[in-house]
Chain A
Amino acid sequence: MPCSDHISRRQMLKGLIAGAPAVVLVTLFPKLAFGADRTHGAKRPLYAYAVDTSRCIGCCACMRACRSENDVPEGRFRTWVEQFRVRANGEVQVDVAITDNFVFTTPPAKDIVKAFFVPKLCNHCEKSVCSQVCPVGASYESPEGVVLVDQKRCIGCGYCVQACPYGTRYIDPLLHTAGKCTLCYHRITRGGLPACVLACPKGARMFGDLHDPDSHLSLFLRQRRYRVLKPEMGTKPKCYYTDLDLEVI
């Protein structure tokens, strides 16, 4: 073989130095290198959730449906319903139905002036602090805006549980990894509804695509005034509540 076909050490080093920026670019900025949108023009949905608290009757059918749909372990909750009771002296009593048969157990006082129910679940925040603090990237946001946990990667450190301002995460006692509401991702990606939405007899829980202006959720949010929980945390939650009292945190 002629000598000119050989790559000299100098040429090799030059090639490596020239190629290094390309490798760094592709590694650090994959979106820049490959293009941000790989959906071939189709707009991805952006899923969100809304709760009309004035409709909730505290039947807890949503909690039952969630537990059976997602095999949620005993003593842990992906969703729950809070019962607020305001007494004449302004004292607020909060109860939650976490018994085996999902009933509220606190006996009512005689001087209650106001009472209502508030369903709670993961807020699937736009700036999810739980995903931010996960040291191994097991907590992440799906392209549809759903905050999920990769059970095969989670190390069970519990940092996300501490970081979530809404108390919606837990460490699964069987899997020893973090657990949380997935908006029934296995259902919604096939065009279905989350189990809790489907089970609610009063339509207090709503789910839909924010990118679709004609979706039930988009129409609802255009027609009603709403707020989110703990907006001061800066997490930009995607779970919207209507008719929410100041007592609710």
Chain B
Amino acid sequence: MGLKRNVSLSTALGYKGQGPYLTFILHRIGGSALFILFTVYILSLLGVQSMHTLMGNWVFQIVFLVFGLFHAINGLRITILDLFPKLIEHFRTAINIEWVVYVLVAGFAVFVVIRNAMGG
């Protein structure tokens, strides 16, 4: 039986978690997205034609870049804070820096994919 939390996502985001909670939930979504990508990638390498086509789809690429890059960048922040606990005092600053880095990297990645989809 599943848990009955009775707390909607919007309520959770509006509660004390806010920014950190948003990164937590996006990290999970990103991890799940990468798990799916890994499966599609392996099947594609094995020569499954439909997975090959899916990998080449620009919408698919954008979805996985947006969520996958967030997972990687957020994971780097978590790892740094875990390995250097004294920095935890500045975790909100770390999250702000993470967002700036993420927007720049993901923005560039999405730009490249869309530009290629439009024919360069």
Specify whether A and B are partners: no
